């Protein structure tokens, strides 16, 4: 099996690559080669037992997808995107990368012909939903995104559904919760503070909280995100019927509950590093985001999380990213 990962230099792409190389299989099939693509060259895995090709290209250029698809990968993980805050601030850039890039990709798949029909796993977002919300967003709730990012993701879901219906690819769109705790440096995502208020204090640094502690949101760990992708790449998609998009499991917690979890796991000295500085722009964006979900359909289809509590999410970060230690 040849696997192509688009956006492989990002956090989820790196972790997905590591898991696939470690296990050597996707479902029942042996992985025989991988192609890793991003706008900056992904790091080439050391000591890989199979050929791994690294490609640096602009996913949103009209000709970028064709040479990648010409290799006829059987499974394509599409993680390439710019994040919510950047897509909102840079309108044209958001549509170019988040929408046009996806359209070029699926058209490149179609152009190969000859019965080529790869599995395409697209990472969508809970931003496809917009307020007003029910107490819990179920599988039948309609899409009314209130951000450009959410609109771009929603359009891509519809395109992938239609190309799947026409038999041009075998697609699935999974709406990831906000991934927490993200390792590395802060990015331009409006949701970045959910990770920042955990990651930076654990590293001995100050973090800024731009919203009130009663803000509620939907989260899953990076480990869960990779698990969702792997399952989407191996499951029987016929069980989904014609609707090839669904929201992933997670947990709904308030910012205050996040901070309480951090205090239980790491202590008051760590939570004291969180500085409250309200940001009207972030407050406005977050007010239009989903808060809780009922993901019955995903659970019935075998998607599961790696954590049961937000304490678990923090412990996963400490173990996986900090070597089991933090700045007390």
Active site residues: 149
What Cα–Cα distance (Å) separates residue 74 from each residue in 18, 202, 203, 245? Answer: 19, 40, 40, 20
**Cα of 21 vs its chain's centroid, Å:** 19
Task: Give bridge partners of residue 172 from the DSSP assignment.
Answer: 121
220 contacts 251 by C-beta, under 8 angstroms? yes
- What DSSP string describes 245-309? EEEPP-EEEEHHHHHHHHHHHH-HHHHTTEEE---HHHHHHHTTS---B--HHHHHTT---S-SS
φ/ψ (deg, to 5) at 45: -60, 135
φ/ψ (deg, to 5) at 252: -100, 120
Strand 178-179 versus strand 216-220 pairing type: parallel
Report the sign of the C-alpha dihedral through residues 210, 311, 18, 27, in that order.
negative
Enclosing H/E stretch for 35: strand 33-38
Degrees to nearest 5, angle at CA 225 with 223 and 229 = 120
User: Cα(5)–Cα(121) distance, rounded to whole angstroms?
Assistant: 10
- Closest by Cα among 205, 150, 202 to 181: 202
Question: Cα(first)–Cα(last) distance of the chain, in Å?
Answer: 45
At 40, list the tokens.
């900056």
Tokens 């697609």: give the residue: 171
At 327, list the tokens.
């700045």
């Amino acid at each position: 099996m040849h696997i192509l990962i688009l956006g492989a230099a990002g956090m989820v792409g790196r972790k997905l690559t590591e898991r696939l190389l470690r296990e050597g299989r996707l479902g029942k099939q042996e992985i025989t080669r991988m192609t890793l693509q991003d706008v900056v060259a992904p790091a080439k895995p050391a000591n890989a037992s199979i050929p791994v090709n690294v490609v640096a290209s602009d996913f949103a250029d009209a000709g970028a997808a064709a040479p990648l698809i010409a290799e006829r990968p059987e499974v394509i993980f599409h993680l390439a995107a710019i994040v919510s805050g950047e897509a909102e601030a840079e309108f044209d850039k958001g549509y170019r990368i988040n929408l046009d890039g996806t359209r070029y990709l699926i058209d490149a798949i179609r152009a190969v012909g000859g019965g080529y029909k790869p599995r395409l796993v697209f990472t969508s977002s809970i931003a496809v939903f917009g307020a007003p919300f029910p107490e819990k967003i179920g599988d039948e709730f309609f899409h009314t995104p209130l951000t450009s990012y959410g609109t771009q993701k929603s359009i891509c879901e519809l395109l992938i559904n239609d190309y799947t219906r026409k038999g041009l690819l075998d697609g699935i769109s999974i709406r990831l919760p906000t991934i927490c705790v993200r390792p590395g440096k802060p990015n331009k995502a409006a949701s970045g503070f959910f990770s920042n208020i955990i990651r930076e204090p654990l590293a001995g640094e100050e973090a800024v909280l731009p919203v009130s502690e009663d803000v509620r949101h939907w989260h899953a760990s990076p480990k869960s995100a990779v698990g969702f992708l792997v399952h989407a790449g191996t499951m029987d998609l016929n069980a989904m019927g014609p609707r090839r998009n669904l929201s992933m499991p997670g947990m709904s917690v308030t910012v205050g509950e996040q901070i309480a979890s951090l205090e239980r796991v790491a202590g008051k000295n760590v939570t004291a590093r969180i500085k409250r500085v309200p940001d009207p722009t972030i407050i406005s964006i977050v007010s239009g985001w989903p808060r809780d979900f009922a993901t019955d359909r995903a659970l019935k289809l075998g998607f599961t999380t790696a954590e049961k509590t937000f304490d678990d999410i923090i412990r996963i970060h400490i173990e996986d990213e900090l070597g089991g230690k933090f700045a007390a």
